Structure 1
């Protein structure tokens, strides 16, 4: 098949190039508009207890589906001074005219004492919106333009809340992509020039990377108009699009240069697609298999990354198998034009050959060193703590993060994100039995460790007893206290009420999740049904759902990859060994993530503030992306080893020769991927930074320790069994030297 592709592309090389130019032009038309169609969030869970509770509160009590908080603070004025109130009212004067704004609650129109900090220099406005998160994010430019910053003198203002956080993520992500690409392309060019020594050969992979990226973004722009796609898809597409497209092209160009030295152009193209093209194809298949694991999740964010990643890999593959051979067919020997320097090639005595021979002389010793080393790299993952992807993914200078941190500092961590409990009854919520049950339940909540306060219709006054609340609510029309009447109107419907639990535990942490579990373990009276929700409960339910589904994804990726490699290598053992080595590389990167981003090592160098946890979806994303990606270099190497083994039947010589033949080019390919992924390590969004660093570490470990030490050692120990395939006799006959 691959020889036929080479033959077809050579015969129709100009037509192939024209088709790709048209595709590039179409992609360039649609690519610029993609950001306006991408969505925020992406972890909605419709069937969980937290989702059910949120839905009840929205439908029954009219809680806003999204909200903002505007923080006002002053170093000189207190909220009690008229100038403070005047500046707040002036700043907010025009936002009520925005149709999506449902309500604006401030200390000055509610006189709620809990909206003022202890030193009385800080307050906030709660902005309820009647649209979901994505629509709220979309109107943020209009919202911000309606705030009167210019009229503020001694009072400062910051906007926070989920819509503001995602608005900042969007704007920072756009600049991050530009920054990463600005670093990646020049660094890749340097590596390619060092690898090839000629500007033409070095430039082609960069062209393929750019073409693949533009076409993929254009396709995703169209796709995002008919299905929801996460804003994070741009990061994974850029990272994989640049790195993989260049890597695949690097392999193709390198093999073509070898072939053109002794064959005509047509034979060189056909031989290149038959060998390097086949290796690239199976590398792409293993990468796509991993990304398909992400597509299987019900969460839009993970699904988007899987779809975007799979598309860019497949586009890069198609470019490597069709566009690049067509260009090579036109260039022919001119692929070596504009030579900067000529490298010396020594097949039988080069560095990689000598290293392989030395490793294979002492395989047991090498493995006794390498395996503990990899396990040590992964060991920090034993202490992993999962957290959410909230405001902490932003850099400290982001306005929404600054506003959120002021709220936490001045009003308490639990005050900004309370645990919410939707309480439902069969009969009237104000019935005597129901109020008694709610009172008992609220009392149990208040006794839990970590609970600071319980806000509800039965905790308005600590001097009122259970019986007094029952009596008061038996005739609600007789209540003359305006504060109680207002609270009753706001927190109840016929059969629903809201209980808010304020704790001293930071939201979206394991401590907060533990409190949510304690609350859910309480058994209230049968007269009431409770649904625990709020940010911490939502994140906990999402994480539980993700990790319930992860084992199924894990099995799918491992089994599918095994059979793909079984078909490629015609060996039962090599795919198992490749998967084992891949897992070791991924575990090492997991350990590095915990060491760096949870424990905070190198935080100054990488310019981030550690939060004591890693984002809960990161290990899943890393596994699905890395499993195929780090497999690339194993496939490239073992394909070349198998090629020599089929010619000679000598296992040891084939390993040494395969490592030598691919050593320089795989090192260059891996270095490119490390540089591309590492470039994202210097971006500002913490999730993207961690993903870039994690991928770079895994590729570095895989392309150095695993490829140069683990592979030769295990290949030597297994000997002829490397090539065993039931029914074929592979590896058990002929010159199958295990020495």
Structure 2
């Protein structure tokens, strides 16, 4: 008998190999995770430095300064003493100065300076030692300032600076991120326990997802030698890895369990799961990787680090789902349902609620589509007011002491909080020509009516080839005039570049604006091509892209509604701002587009299975969505719960990320997948599968389940029966 039963497809081949060599597959996976973790510790991770980040002139200037050999500067701190209820600052300023000079790890206490309005005094100093870990030594100075404030309750006395900022906000953020990472695991496990109703089945996805994240973090250490990483990449990897890793395992296990409950023997159930859900995992993972690769086009160190990290964790999750998971399912058999939870475990779900809802949608597809589009349009409408802004002090909780201190200093002494720096490079800057250039700049500052603020200070490197001229700027809008007019006029033929916080943010914003069309085009174009090849339908590919854009637009609208319009301020503990953090729209688009394709590929694959078996499109849609609704709901609940934890973090940007991701995934799994997708496909009917003749060369990929499995007595490897 001719054996046509050789299983085709990467997912099915991997599953059958793993089932046949399950001990080797399981031990090999464990060895892989341990090996990359241990070797990564020996190999080391390359962290991105200041010279690796930034864009435009500010990056060039920062690299010049870093290479110029300036002495290492300690972390600077400042204490503001301000009239509020009282009016005698003299004694308080004296107490601050005397107290700081006696405080451990405090150096370079400067003479107080007075604000132009005469209401504030500022005392600056530094923390001894390396600026990178100065937050570990700043507490004694904070204690000193707190004692002076207690002794002068009628004045406002507060400390701010890099070290105290890292101490008061950085520590809180790190603690929140660590707590988030720890909470996400039990929250995910709890949802899966409800979804499966069995402990072993719930533990498998969490365990494999965690192992995939650990392995990917080990691989990141090797990749960092090509693309330096930023510290927040690990947190992004945990959440993306947990989301996709759990989803992939959930899809696979549910399909294998469903086939067993439908009467298939263990081998046939595994083959069907591999050729359907396994194939969906492969396509979905590839699509997510393509979306994440779009971040490379930003040419931004942080985005590139995120791209590398998320690609590694998704690829590792796919690898684990297609290899070790089938081996575990083969080894466990029906024991995957072990330790059943009374009241939660159901041998099969009839999906009565979802099927009833789908019958309603498919009975009136046009009305359903109009209502769904209308609801999404209402949610997305605020997007028309979307504005972006650089991250600033207003993105921190208003009650944080460091926020209040910075605002007070920024109002009274704008040159101290975010100074402008002009980096000048020449064969020698110790010349009369350079001194004349600085004098011209100083004259412009003095004549600017407060838009630029002194004092104008100059630092020169030991070689005398690089100078950094710093002063204040009251309004970031003056940056363009400074770069295009004032600095060129003052420094003439000298190489003079403007940097500093305002300049860095402006260059970053310009880089994002320039890269956005390329990123959007790359992600949308390749996603379209992947769907086209996978489903051999132009219509399916177009609708897939458009539906995902709907979820992104709705997420943008929700962000504007909450964070620009100021709804739920007290509940989420943030201050409404005049824009969304500038990197958020691009990052959300990439992450959401990638994650939304998980559901889309999985649902479409099940619909295509029915169509390939000869079912009418409407019946195939009802059957495909009805059978996947439960697992899609469970996967979406996992993602929503994990992403919503971001809203508990102190930064407005992390709150925006959490709310945007959670809202979009929720809308995607409900309005889009349960209403709009079936309604549109029902309206289009057989047109869903339209493919132009000139694209007939695209590979034929079967979506229907394999034929019955037979097992030869002499060879226990499952194979397809001859047809």
Of 493, 502, 522, the match for 2:472: 502
- Report Cα offsets for 1:467-492 as digits up to 9, x if no partner: xxxxxxxxxxxxxxxxxxxx688799
Look up the match of 2:685: 719
Q: Which residue of 2 aligns with 1:592?
A: 558
Q: SS at the partner of 2:138? A: helix
Q: Which residue of 2 aligns with 1:198?
A: 198
Give the superposition deviation at 1:424: 7.3
Match of 1:90 among 81, 93, 102: 102
Displacement after TM superposition at 1:496 (Å): 7.7
Note closer, same or farther for the CA distance 1:724–1:496 as it changes in structure 2 (3 Å cut): same
Q: What is the TM-score of this pair, normalised by structure 2? A: 0.82
Range that drifts further, 82-91 or 329-338: 82-91
Alignment-derived partner of residue 478 in structure 2: 515
User: 2:368 maps to which residue?
Assistant: 366
Distance 1:86 1:444, change over 3 A: closer
Match of 1:21 among 16, 21, 30: 30
TM-score of the two chains, using structure 1 as the length reference: 0.80
Q: Distance in 1 between the 2:44 and 2:260 partners?
A: 44
Q: Distance in 1 between matches of 2:67 and 2:25?
A: 56
Corresponding residue SS for 2:228: coil
| CA gap 1:167/1:43 in 2 versus in 1, 3 angstroms | farther
Q: 1:57, CA displacement in angstroms?
A: 6.5
Q: Render the CA deviation track for 1:692-711: whole Å, top value 9, x for unaligned.
A: 22111111111111111110
SS of structure 1 residue aligned to 2:122: strand
Equivalent residues of 1:425, 1:528 under 8 A apart: no
Aligned equivalents of 2:39 and 2:434: distance in 1? 61
1:560 is aligned, of 521, 526, 534, to 526
Per-residue deviation at 1:238? Answer: 1.6
For 2:572 and 2:673, locate their aligned partners in 1 and report how far apart those are by CA, in whole Å: 28
Q: CA deviation at 1:429?
A: 8.5
1:289-368 alignment runs, 5 A limit: 289-339=290-340, 340-341=342-343, 342-343=345-346, 350-368=352-370
Q: Distance in 2 between matches of 1:127 and 1:117?
A: 26
Q: Could you tell me which of 560, 575, 581 is aligned with 2:547? A: 581
After superposition, the Cα gap between the structure-2 partners of 1:418 and 1:682, relative to the gap in structure 1 and judged at 3 Å, is same
Distance in structure 2 (CA, Å) of the matches to 1:259 and 1:308: 35
Decide whether the 8 Å contact of 1:137 with 1:166 is kept in 2: no
- DSSP 3-state at the match of 2:323: helix
Question: Does the 8 A contact of 1:172 with 1:685 survive in 2?
Answer: no
Matched-pair contact (CA < 8 Å) for 1:209–1:245 = yes
Contact 2:292 2:307 survives alignment (8 Å) = yes
Paired with 1:199 and 1:630, the residues of 2 have a C-alpha distance of: 28
Conserved 8 A contact 2:560-2:580: yes
User: Matches of 2:307 and 2:539 in 1, distance apart?
Assistant: 29
1:570 aligned to which of 516, 520, 536 = 536
Q: Please report how far the alpha carbon of residue 407 of structure 1 lies from its aligned counterpart in structure 2 after TM superposition.
A: 2.2
Which shows bigger deviation, 277-286 or 423-432?
Answer: 423-432
For residues 197-346 of structure 1, the aligned pairs below 5 Å read 197-221=197-221, 223-224=223-224, 228-261=228-261, 262-339=263-340, 340-341=342-343, 342-343=345-346
Gap change, CA 1:538 and 1:365, over 3 Å in 2: same
Using a 3 Å threshold, how does the CA distance of structure 1 residues 547 and 151 change in structure 2: closer, same or farther? closer
Give a deviation string over 1:42-81, Cα, whole Å, max 9, x none: 97235x2233445566778959778422426599984556
Count of matched residue pairs: 671
Contact 2:100–2:141 (8 Å) recurs in 1: no
Aligned mates of 1:137, 1:497 — CA distance in 2: 23
Distance 1:433 1:209 in 2: 60
3-state SS, counterpart of residue 71 of structure 1: strand
1:146 positional shift: 7.6
**How far is the alpha carbon of 1:244 from its aligned partner?**
1.4
What is the distance in 2 between the residues matched to 1:42 and 1:675?
A: 37
Which residue of 117, 131, 150 corresponds with 1:136?
Answer: 131
Shift of residue 249 of structure 1? 0.9
1:331-382 CA distance string (max 9 Å, x none): 11112222234437576x8333333333233333333332233233223233
One of 631, 636, 639 as aligned partner of 1:673:
639
CA 1:41–1:726: 2 relative to 1, 3 Å: same
The structural deviation recorded for 1:208 is 1.9
Secondary structure in structure 2 of the residue aligned to 1:195:
helix
Match of 1:417 in 2: 418
Mind listing any 5+ residue stretches in structure 2 that lack a counterpart? 1-8, 151-156, 698-723
**In the alignment, which residue of structure 2 is the partner of 1:405?**
407
Q: 1:154 aligns with which of 144, 148, 158?
A: 148
* TM-fit CA distance, 1:515: 2.1
TM-fit CA distance, 1:574: 0.6
- Secondary structure at 1:630's aligned position in 2? helix
- Relative to structure 1, the CA distance from residue 85 to residue 271 in structure 2 (aligned partners, 3 Å threshold; closer, same or farther) is same
Distance 1:585 1:15, change over 3 A: same
Give 1:123's aligned residue.
Answer: 122
1:69 aligned partner: 77
The residue number in structure 1 matching 2:675 is: 709
Could you tell me how far apart the structure 1 residues matched to 2:226 and 2:128 are? 25
- In structure 2, the partner of 1:651 is 617
- Note closer, same or farther for the CA distance 1:451–1:24 as it changes in structure 2 (3 Å cut): same
Find the aligned partners of 2:357 and 2:332 in 1 and give their Cα distance: 36
1:648 match: secondary structure: coil
> Does 1:682 pair with 2:685?
no
Q: Within 1, Cα distance between the matches of 2:142 and 2:546? A: 60
Q: Pick closer, same or farther for the CA change 1:320–1:61 going to 2, 3 Å.
A: closer
Q: Distance in 1 between matches of 2:182 and 2:458?
A: 57
Cα 1:59–1:631 change in 2 (3 A) is closer
Is residue 562–residue 576 contact of structure 1 (8 Å, CA) maintained in 2? yes
Question: Aligned in 2, Cα 1:240/1:54: closer, same or farther, shift over 3 Å?
Answer: closer
Alpha-carbon distance, 1:105 to partner: 5.4
Distance 1:491 1:24, change over 3 A: closer
Q: Aligned match of 2:492 in 519, 528, 531?
A: 528
5+ long unaligned stretches in structure 1: 97-103, 457-486, 506-511, 731-739
Closer, same or farther: CA 659–682 of 1 in aligned 2, 3 Å: same
- Listed one character per residue, the Cα deviations across residues 439-469 of structure 1 (whole Å, up to 9, x for unaligned) are 776666666687153544xxxxxxxxxxxxx
Shift of 1:667: 0.8
Tell me which moved more, 399-408 or 557-566: 399-408
| CA distance in 2 between partners of 1:61 and 1:12 (Å) | 59
Structure 2 residue 110 is matched with structure 1 residue 106:
yes
**Aligned position for 1:6:** 15
- Asked if structure 1 preserves the Cα contact closer than 8 Å seen for 2:297 and 2:518, the reply is no
Moved more, 202-211 or 154-163: 154-163
Report SS of the residue matched to 2:124.
Answer: strand
Q: Secondary structure at the match of 1:307?
A: helix
Whole-angstrom distance in 1 between the partners of 2:312 and 2:431: 56
